[in-house]
Structure 1
Amino acid sequence: MENKFGTKIFILDETLRGQKLKSIKLKHPGNDKQAVFLLCESRKEIYELLSFNEKHRSWFIDESVASNGQIYMPMIIDPLYIVLSYLVKCDPKKVQPIQHVLEDSEFHDIKYLMNVIDVKELKMISDQIGPEDINAFKYNESKALEWLKKKCLIVVEALKKSNVRTGQNVTSQTYVNVNGNSDENSYLLTAHGIVSEYISMELSTKLSSFMNIVDESKQVNGAKRKSIVDLENVNMKKSRLSDETNFKVNEPETKESKKAKQKNEKLAKAATGSKNILSFFNKKS
Structure 2
Amino acid sequence: MTTRTRGKPAQSDQNKIAAVKKHIDNRVFLLDANLADKSSDDIQIISLRNPSTEKASKYLFAKGKNQFFELLSFSEEHRCWFANESVYPNGNIYMTSPFDPLFWALYYIRLNCSDKCQPIDQTIVDDNFANAHLIADVLTVEQLSMIADQKGVESLKAFKYNETKAMNWLSLKCKKLAKTLRESNFHIGAKSTNYVKTEKVGNDQQIDAEFLSYAYGILSDYITLELCEKLSDHLGLEKIKPVAAGKRKSLIELENNTLKRIKTEEDFATANMVETISPPSIKEKKVSTKDKKMAKAASGTKSISSFFTKK
* TM-score between both structures, scaled by the size of structure 1: 0.69
| Counterpart check, 1:183 vs 2:207 | yes
Q: How does 1:54-93 map to 2 (within 5 A)?
A: 54-93=76-115
Which structure: larger Rg?
2
| Counterpart check, 1:12 vs 2:31 | yes
Q: How does 1:216-255 map to 2 (within 5 A)?
A: none
Q: Cα offset for 1:21?
A: 1.4
Do the aligned partners of residues 39 and 4 (structure 1) sit closer, same or farther apart at CA in structure 2, a change above 3 Å counting? Answer: farther
SS of corresponding position for 1:183: helix
Q: Cα offset for 1:8?
A: 0.4
| Counterpart check, 1:159 vs 2:178 | no
| Counterpart check, 1:112 vs 2:134 | yes
More helix per residue: 1 or 2? Answer: 2
| Count of aligned pairs between the two proteins | 216
Q: Cα offset for 1:217?
A: 10
Do the aligned partners of residues 124 and 216 (structure 1) sit closer, same or farther apart at CA in structure 2, a change above 3 Å counting? Answer: closer
Match 1:192 to one of 216, 235, 256 = 216
Contact map agreement 2:113 2:123 (CA 8 A) in 1: no
| Aligned residues: CA RMSD | 2.8
In 1, distance between residues paired with 2:240 and 2:62? Answer: 40
Q: Cα offset for 1:65?
A: 0.7
In 1, distance between residues paired with 2:64 and 2:140? Answer: 13
Q: Which residue of 1 aligns with 2:238?
A: 214
| Counterpart check, 1:100 vs 2:122 | yes
Q: Cα offset for 1:148?
A: 0.2
* TM-score between both structures, scaled by the size of structure 2: 0.64
Q: Which residue of 2 aligns with 1:123?
A: 145
In 1, distance between residues paired with 2:62 and 2:137? Answer: 9
Q: Cα offset for 1:178?
A: 8.0
Kindly, what percent of the aligned residue pairs are identical?
34
In 2, distance between residues paired with 1:4 and 1:89? Answer: 43
Q: Cα offset for 1:197?
A: 0.5
SS of corresponding position for 1:85: helix
Residues 166-204 of structure 1: CA distance to partner in whole angstroms, max 9, x if unpaired? 3xxx23xxx756831461110110011111110011111
In 1, distance between residues paired with 2:61 and 2:185? Answer: 31
Please, which runs of 5 or more residues in structure 1 have no aligned partner? 233-285
SS of corresponding position for 2:48: strand
In 2, distance between residues paired with 1:112 and 1:118? Answer: 12
Do the aligned partners of residues 184 and 215 (structure 1) sit closer, same or farther apart at CA in structure 2, a change above 3 Å counting? Answer: farther
Contact map agreement 1:44 1:117 (CA 8 A) in 2: no
Contact map agreement 2:109 2:161 (CA 8 A) in 1: yes
